[in-house]
Structure 1
Amino acid sequence: MVENPAGFWVRFGAKVIDALIFIVLGLILGAIFSDGTSEWVSNIISFLYALLLPIFWYGYTVGKKALSVRIVKLDGSQVTFWTMIKRNVIAWIVYGLPSILGFIGFIVIFGVSGLDVFMSEDLMSDEVLGELFKGFAWLMIGLILSGVLYVISAFMIGLREDKRAIHDLIAGTYVTKNKPNL
């Protein structure tokens, strides 16, 4: 049973705080590693932060703790590793699937005929431009559909009584203002 759910703006604020932490981390890592290593190191740390910190810190990230909200399972209990895998990995695959399919469509179009066309002498021909248009159309449609899923989730948080987004539905979680029972 969902008790005292957190709305859109407080959740958004927590995300902004967490993002600022990783901007600073990225700048620090960028100063340390000048060979491009900082980006993938920062991405790995960010992924582990979102996945593991709520498990060990009663559903909090730094942003959520700062704004006094936390992630819990539907019964109000502590999130588990599997819960966070569903919330952060499976759900993000769902959000990203249209983009992934759009990218695959882009690759397939170029794999089938695009690369051959690019080897031709006339790069401004109707054939080359047509292949480019089809490939980018697939890619843009995928990106737009992924964006639509994010917007739908934002509206779900804002409009649903239980304030649950797509990733909450997948993982069986919600974000609450309730403090943990220690």
Structure 2
Amino acid sequence: MMGKNPAGFWIRLGANLIDAVVFAVLGFLLALILGDQIGQNASSGIQFLYGLLLPVFWYGYTVGKKAVSIRIVRKDGTNVTFWTMVKRSLLSGIVYGLPFFLGLIIALVMGWSEMVELFTTPVPADPAAMDMEISNTALSALVILFGGGLLSFILIAASAIMIGVREDKRAIHDLIAGTYVTRNSPGAASADSYEESKEIF
């Protein structure tokens, strides 16, 4: 694993914070130029494409990763492809967010009739006369929503722990995409990959 030279938790967190600062500044500028809503939407779209495409064209680097000299590579040490980044960004995002999304859908389905009743019932002149009792169905929906969010948080936390404790420093999204984050430069990674290929053959 020494030849792969994997990057640990703190340096990867540092890279992500640098990228976050870059997009905080970009979002602020776009909001000034285009207005709040359009600027936020434009910033979100650019940020998504940035994370998806930049590593494909820049040897696995983003601005933050380049600043701390780490990059994303495939498991064999070669450069990431578009499909690799789709798995790492989109599929992994679905895996992380799926428990919360399912919890939200179930909660909405369970509580739909009560929400409709809440928004269509006229507000009484005397607020004290309002029925503030929460039904078992609404309570169950809130518990399911909270449970889904908690499971998504646990998955994200598990990924952070995996980076800290695994020898190869691979998180859930790395396992899904077949990637790892390395401190090696592109030339060093190529040499490492060549040595591994010699061992195979």
TM-score, L = length of structure 2 = 0.83
Larger CA deviation: 51-60 vs 31-40: 31-40
Change (3 A) 1:36 1:116: closer
Aligned to 1:114: 114
Any idea what the Cα deviations from partners look like across 1:143-172, whole Å, max 9, x if unmatched? 111111010000000000000000000000
Larger CA deviation: 68-77 vs 135-144: 135-144
Trace 1:1-182 onto structure 2 (pairs within 5 A). Answer: 3-34=4-35, 36-111=37-112, 113-118=113-118, 119-120=120-121, 124-126=131-133, 128-181=134-187
Partner Cα distance (1:116, 1:155) in 2: 42
Unaligned runs of 5+ in 2: 123-128, 191-201
Answer with 1 or 2: which has the greater Rg. Answer: 2
Once superposed, which parts of structure 1, at least 4 consecutive aligned residues long, lie more than 6 Å away? none
Unaligned runs of 5+ in 1: none
Deviation at 1:88, TM superposition (A): 0.2
Partner Cα distance (2:44, 2:84) in 1: 21
Paired residue secondary structure (2:73) = strand
Change (3 A) 1:114 1:123: farther
Paired residue secondary structure (1:105) = helix
Larger CA deviation: 136-145 vs 17-26: 136-145
Deviation at 1:20, TM superposition (A): 0.4
Paired residue secondary structure (2:69) = coil
Partner Cα distance (1:116, 1:38) in 2: 33
The AA in structure 2 aligned to 1:135 is A
The root-mean-square deviation of aligned C-alpha atoms, in Å, is 1.8
Larger CA deviation: 56-65 vs 33-42: 33-42
Identity %: 52
Any idea what the Cα deviations from partners look like across 1:64-116, whole Å, max 9, x if unmatched? 000000000000000000000000000000000011011101211122x3235
- What number of residue pairs does the alignment pair up? 180
Partner Cα distance (2:13, 2:91) in 1: 21
The AA in structure 1 aligned to 2:131 is M
Paired residue secondary structure (1:19) = helix
Deviation at 1:129, TM superposition (A): 4.5
Partner Cα distance (2:140, 2:48) in 1: 33
Deviation at 1:19, TM superposition (A): 0.4
